[in-house]
Amino acid sequence: MFTSRVSTILALHITAAYTPPMTTTLALEHLDEMTEEQLPIELLNDPAHPQNDQFYQSLNQIKRAILHQSAILRPIQVNAAKAALSGITHVKIAKKLDVHPQSVGKYLRDPGVKRLQELIRHMQHMLDGPTNEHRKNILYRIAIDNEHQRPSVSVSAIDMINKMSGGYEQQAPNNTVNITINNELLPKGELDILPHGMSVIEGEVMPE
């Protein structure tokens, strides 16, 4: 249990700085590759296969829901839903599907099309992984769970939360420039001699 929690902390720390943009490109790519499963049941249920991991099981459940919803709709509605999620304007969708732009709007207002789009967005959220807020919440739970038994783990989790939240101030860079003058090459002249009663204090010429 301790090892798995430390692994979780390390994984969260590695990915904390990166928040993927919310697009449906990856989800749409998955949809293009989706087919009904044709493998024997003993292969589908093989516990050693990565596809039987909980993540992939959940992902496949969403895919099956998308396939089911797509089968209910007309192909042109499904294509309009996917095109709209990819960011294409109604005019371009209409040209792509060879229909009037008003027809595209009608397709996208259909409750079944809206449900299909929500399912695709739901799959995209899963592919994107946890947001920063989700990761911080996981770290907070790790910190609470280990506060007394494993305080070092708790401190590490809090430290990562602070880093993700910008809780540490960065040190200002030292912009001091030191110049050394070779008096043999550049001997002092009249302008280098301070007037009577004046001296240099903290880099500025001031009265004594």
Q: Which residue has the higher pLDDT, 151 or 168?
A: 151
Q: Band the pLDDT of 163: cuts 50, 70, 90.
A: confident
**What is residue 130's predicted lDDT score, i.e. its pLDDT?**
82
pLDDT in tens, 118-150: 999 999 988 888 888 888 999 999 999 998 888
Q: What is the pLDDT of residues 1-12, one digit of tens each?
A: 444 554 555 454
- Residue 152: which residues within 8 A CB-CB, separation 6 or more? none
Backbone region of residue 7 per phi and psi (left: phi > 0; alpha: psi in -120 to 50; beta: other values): alpha
More confident residue, 114 or 52: 114
Q: How confident is the model at residue 17 (pLDDT cuts 50, 70, 90)?
A: very low
Q: What is the pLDDT of residue 169?
A: 63
pTM above 0.75?
Answer: no
